[in-house]
Amino acid sequence: MKSLSNSVNLIGNLGMDPEVKEMSNGNKMARFSLATSDTYKNQKGEKVTETQWHNLVIWGKVADVAEKFLKKGNQIAVEGKLVNRSWDDKDGHKKYITEIVVNDMLMLKTNPA
């Protein structure tokens, strides 16, 4: 059985075109945001939609696919793991981010050009 200890599965829409960087070793990395939405009815019976934003990072061949085919608004499914990072900004303040490092991706819907 696949390990479930740190596994994330999401279906959502890209909030931006992927930002792709090539590392000194030739490996590619792509970053982008993904929006997921849940809809429910509140106590008054009104429809409420809540959107969550996720920071995604993709490496290697999957980053190549992201660079070539993904655009803002596309719907995708991803599987990956949560990673927390921290760094010091230029003023010496500690910054934190939680990202999803994607292992696999499936393109579901694209926006017409």
Q: Which residues of 31-56 are buried (b: 16+ CB within 10 A; e: fewer)?
A: bbebeeeeeeeeeeeeeeeeeeebeb
| Beta bridge pairs of residue 61 | none
Q: Which of 91, 74, 90, 89 is nearest to 18 (CA)?
A: 74
Please give the pLDDT value at position 4: 73
Domain boundary assignment for the chain: 8-109
Phi, psi of 42 (to 5 degrees): -80, -175
Query: What is the reported pTM?
Result: 0.83
Tell me which of 1.10.760.10, 3.40.50.1100, 2.40.50.140, 3.60.20.10 is the CATH number of domain 8-109.
2.40.50.140
pLDDT category, 110, cuts 50, 70, 90?
confident
Residue 87 CA to residue 95 CA, distance in Å, equals 5
Per residue in 50-107, pLDDT (tens digit) is 999 999 999 999 999 999 999 999 999 999 999 999 999 999 999 999 999 999 999 9
Helices (H), the chain: 60-69
* Amino acid of residue 73: G
